[in-house]
């Protein structure tokens, strides 16, 4: 019984992860502006990876495998948003047509 | 050099000029806006471009499907996992490696025993190929004059607190993991090439976020040359010694030891370290030479 429950749970997680990744890949090719593409690509490394790895954790059920997968998840969650941040920052720095796409909101401490 | 915030404020006030502050970059006056000028396409070019953009995805899908069919049919023909009738399992050499590898080399990881003991000359050649590639890139790319860092790169990429703080946390972990992979090479999956690549990646990440000056205190051209040359020399001499002793059935000072200990498996651990040094230095050297034409 618990095995069947585990398989159902893990397949739900894995398929939703695949769905998220599919939608993100579609967005990367469909969007025209860099920031939208960057956000769409960042979804793969955060939400998609989280769902897939959680599904794999549920499948395996061994503590050592779960800990390794948690480490991979942490590493990706620290590293991948930095890459997106750098892409966005480069775009803000060099694109002269930025104002057509983006509205700036200023905070008090920035000015 | 303008800071990122200043750029953004100029941008907000509409006083942003795309002329880059070229005080440090010499007399070359370059503007970003030049590269963004829309070039007018002629009609012929336009039609060709449209034809290309229509034909490209179709061709790509067809090629990808053909490749997928070929690769999947190759996968279907592979022997089952653990089957006794695979071509390597029926070869005499592989059987000897599998049966006597642990007792003769002392390495639990049989692959490490094969590539660094039985067939160490192959790995020696690979390390020398890496060194020759680095030397060729050095001959082609290296310039004697010190090129100042362009202020644009600094403003855009370097002066970033988010990147720097993440690097501060991540790079020690990456380097430690690379060392673990190298030192674990004879006990499990790992070895000099993979660990060296990990360390090289960590060094490149550090250089990207902090700039070259900090790393050059440890790794400059002189230390690069000395470490790589000493590593390759040690590899050659050690393997010459061990092959000479092995061919003449002499007693070597590098025995197999107790399998499972970290100081075991004879020469495999030092050779892994040496290969790791060569690989990490070569990776970082490639990056540095292509980025700014000097190490």
Place of tokens 């942490």: A74
Contact status, residue B137 vs residue B285, Cβ threshold 8 Å: yes
Distance between CA B186 and CA B255 in Å, rounded?
Answer: 14
List the 79-98 stretch of B: residues with Cβ below 8 A of A.
Answer: none
Distance between CA B262 and CA B187 in Å, rounded?
Answer: 8
Q: Which candidate from B18, B157, B169 shows the least CB-CB separation from A86?
A: B157
Task: Please state at what angle helix B120-141 crosses helix B268-292, rounded to 10 degrees.
Answer: 20
Q: Is B15 on the interface with A (CB under 8 A)?
A: no
Contact status, residue A44 vs residue A85, Cβ threshold 8 Å: no
Enumerate the residues of chain A whose CB falls inside 8 A of the CB of residue B157.
86, 89-90
CB proximity list for B264: less than 8 A, separation 6 or greater: B106, B107, B186, B256, B257, B258
pLDDT given at position B214: 77
Task: Kindly determine whether residue A85 and residue B162, on different chains, have CB atoms separated by under 8 Å.
Answer: yes
Distance between CA A63 and CA B98 in Å, rounded?
Answer: 31
What is the SS3 assignment for B31?
strand
Confidence of residue B235 (pLDDT cuts 50, 70, 90): confident
pLDDT in tens, A49-70: 999 999 999 988 888 899 999 9
Distance between CA A57 and CA A69 in Å, rounded?
Answer: 7
Higher pLDDT, B113 or B3: B113
pLDDT given at position B133: 86
- Could you tell me which chain A residue has the CA closest to the CA of B162? A82
pLDDT given at position A79: 86
Dihedral sign computed on CA atoms, order B204, B207, B210, B214:
positive
pLDDT in tens, A64-92: 899 999 999 998 998 888 888 888 888 87
Mean pLDDT of chain B: 76
pLDDT in tens, B70-101: 999 998 888 777 777 777 767 777 777 877 77
Task: Kindly determine whether residue A111 and residue B36, on different chains, have CB atoms separated by under 8 Å.
Answer: no
pLDDT in tens, A3-44: 888 889 999 999 999 999 999 999 998 888 888 888 899 999
Distance between CA B267 and CA B289 in Å, rounded?
Answer: 32
Domain-by-domain residue ranges, chain B? 108-292
- Could you tell me which chain A residue has the CA closest to the CA of B208? A86
| Gyration radius of chain A's alpha carbons | 18
pLDDT given at position B33: 44
Q: Is B14 on the interface with A (CB under 8 A)?
A: no
- Closest CA–CA distance from residue B152 to any residue of chain A (Å): 9
Task: Kindly determine whether residue B36 and residue A96, on different chains, have CB atoms separated by under 8 Å.
Answer: yes
Beta strands in chain A (DSSP E): none
Contact status, residue B285 vs residue B138, Cβ threshold 8 Å: yes
Distance between CA B277 and CA B194 in Å, rounded?
Answer: 11
**pLDDT at residue B64 greater than cutoff 90:** yes
Beta bridge partners, B31, equal: B19
Contact status, residue A51 vs residue A9, Cβ threshold 8 Å: no
Task: Pull the structure tokens for residue B180.
Answer: 């673990």
Distance between CA B47 and CA B291 in Å, rounded?
Answer: 37
- Could you tell me which chain A residue has the CA closest to the CA of B33? A96
């Amino acid at each position: 019984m618990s095995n069947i429950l585990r398989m159902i749970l893990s397949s739900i997680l894995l398929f939703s992860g695949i769905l998220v990744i599919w939608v993100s890949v579609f967005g990367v090719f469909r969007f025209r502006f860099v920031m939208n593409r960057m956000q769409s690509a960042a979804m793969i490394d955060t939400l998609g990876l989280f769902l897939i790895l959680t599904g794999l954790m549920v499948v395996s059920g061994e503590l050592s495998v779960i800990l390794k997968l948690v480490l991979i998840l942490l590493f990706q969650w620290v590293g991948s948003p930095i890459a997106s941040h750098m892409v966005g920052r480069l775009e803000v720095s060099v694109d002269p047509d930025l104002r057509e796409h983006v509205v700036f909101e200023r905070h008090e401490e920035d000015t | 050099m303008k800071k990122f915030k200043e750029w953004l404020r100029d941008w907000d006030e509409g006083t942003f000029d795309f002329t880059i502050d070229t005080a440090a970059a010499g007399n070359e006056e370059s503007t970003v806006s030049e590269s963004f000028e829309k070039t007018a396409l002629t009609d012929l070019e336009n039609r060709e471009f449209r034809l290309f953009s229509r034909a490209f995805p179709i061709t790509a899908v067809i090629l990808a499907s053909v490749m997928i069919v070929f690769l999947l049919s190759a996968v279907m023909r592979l022997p089952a996992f653990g089957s006794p009738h695979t071509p390597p399992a029926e070869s005499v050499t592989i059987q000897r490696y599998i049966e006597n590898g642990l007792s003769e080399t002392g390495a639990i990881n049989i692959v490490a025993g094969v590539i660094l003991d039985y067939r160490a000359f192959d790995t020696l050649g690979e390390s020398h190929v890496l060194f020759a590639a680095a030397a060729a890139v050095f001959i082609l790319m290296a310039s004697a004059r010190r090129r100042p860092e362009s202020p644009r790169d600094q403003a855009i990429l370097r002066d970033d607190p988010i990147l720097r703080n993440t690097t501060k946390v991540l790079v020690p972990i990456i380097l430690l993991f690379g060392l673990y992979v190298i030192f674990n090479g004879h006990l499990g999956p790992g070895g000099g090439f993979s660990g060296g690549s990990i360390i090289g990646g960590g060094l490149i990440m550090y250089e990207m976020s902090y700039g070259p000056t900090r790393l050059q205190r440890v790794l400059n051209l002189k230390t690069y040359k000395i470490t790589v040359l000493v590593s390759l020399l040690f590899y050659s001499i050690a393997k010459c010694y061990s092959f000479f002793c092995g061919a003449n059935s002499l007693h070597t000072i590098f025995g197999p030891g107790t399998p499972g200990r970290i100081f075991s498996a004879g020469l495999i651990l030092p050779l892994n370290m040496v290969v790791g040094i060569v690989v990490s230095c070569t990776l970082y050297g490639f990056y540095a030479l292509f980025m700014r034409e000097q190490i």
